[in-house]
Amino acid sequence: MDKSRVSKNKAIFLDRDGTINEEMGYINHADRFKVFDFVPESIRIFKSLGFKVIIVTNQSGVARGYFSESLLKEIHHNFLETMERQGAAPDDIYYCPHHPSEGNPPYRQECDCRKPKPGMVLSAAEKWHLDLSNSFLVGDRYKDILFAKKLGIGAALVMTGYGQGEFTYQRKEWAYIPDFIGENLLDIAKQIEQFLSKRASVDKKV
């Protein structure tokens, strides 16, 4: 098959901690994984706009020995089941359990998947045939914005998690301004919906 003829999908990449669930440091017990109430509606909006919804998250707590990879998988499995019951299941979850200097092999390693390295996004792009130029990444840290910019992805910052603090005290030092800034993930979903609606109207006029 001619790969150039394969239709391209677009994606919303979501950071995990502080974006879809409460920021609690290293989540070493399933009960500490508390999803924000607005997440299901947010994901439903993204899906209605034709986006794949893909979580990309660094989880170096595995390498550091704070929790096991099996616990991490259990948390993600339970999350996906809960979201599916609400018609809002993400399409995929990518996580990096590594750290370059902490823990023991195989988790202590210089990998290509730990953000801001592009491994997780590039793997998702290949699997899901993604057009990154029409995709967005949402996170609560400025490093998420840098990560998105390096990959040519639209960048959105939420005020949940670390977002409010970084925006208030560090934005004067930022080299890039996010394409969208919102109170939370639902706010960002509505902003992107409005943006795409306006763009479609302009395209029709042209």
Check which CATH number belongs to the domain holding 140 and give it.
3.40.50.1000
Is residue 2 a part of any domain in this protein?
no
17 noted as active-site residue: yes
**Mean pLDDT, the chain, whole residue set:** 94
Query: Which pTM value belongs to this model?
Result: 0.93
Q: Which residue among the candidates 17, 92, 144, 179 is catalytic per the annotation?
A: 17
Q: What is the DSSP string of 30-59?
A: GGG--B-TTHHHHHHHHHHTTEEEEEEEE-
Q: How many domains are there within the chain?
A: 1
Q: Does any domain span residue 174?
A: yes
CA distance 153 to 56: 14
Residue 24 lies in domain? 7-205
**pLDDT tens digits, 39-83:** 999 999 999 999 999 999 999 999 999 999 999 999 999 999 999
On whether residue 52 sits in a domain, the answer given is yes
pLDDT tens digits along 117-169: 999 999 999 999 999 999 999 999 999 999 999 999 999 999 999 999 999 99
Q: Is 91 a catalytic residue?
A: no
Q: Residue 95: phi, psi to the nearest 5?
A: -135, 150
Say which of 15, 92, 140, 144 is annotated catalytic: 15
**Residue 75 falls inside a structural domain:** yes
> Which pLDDT score is estimated for 85?
97
- The DSSP code for 206 is -
Classify residue 15: in a domain, yes or no.
Answer: yes
- Structural domain includes residue 129: yes
Is 1 inside any structural domain?
A: no
Q: Bin 101: left if φ > 0, else alpha if -120 < ψ < 50, else beta.
A: alpha
With 0-12 / 13-18 / 19 or more C-beta atoms within 10 angstroms meaning exposed / middle / buried, residue 174 is: middle
Say what the pLDDT of residue 4 is: 47
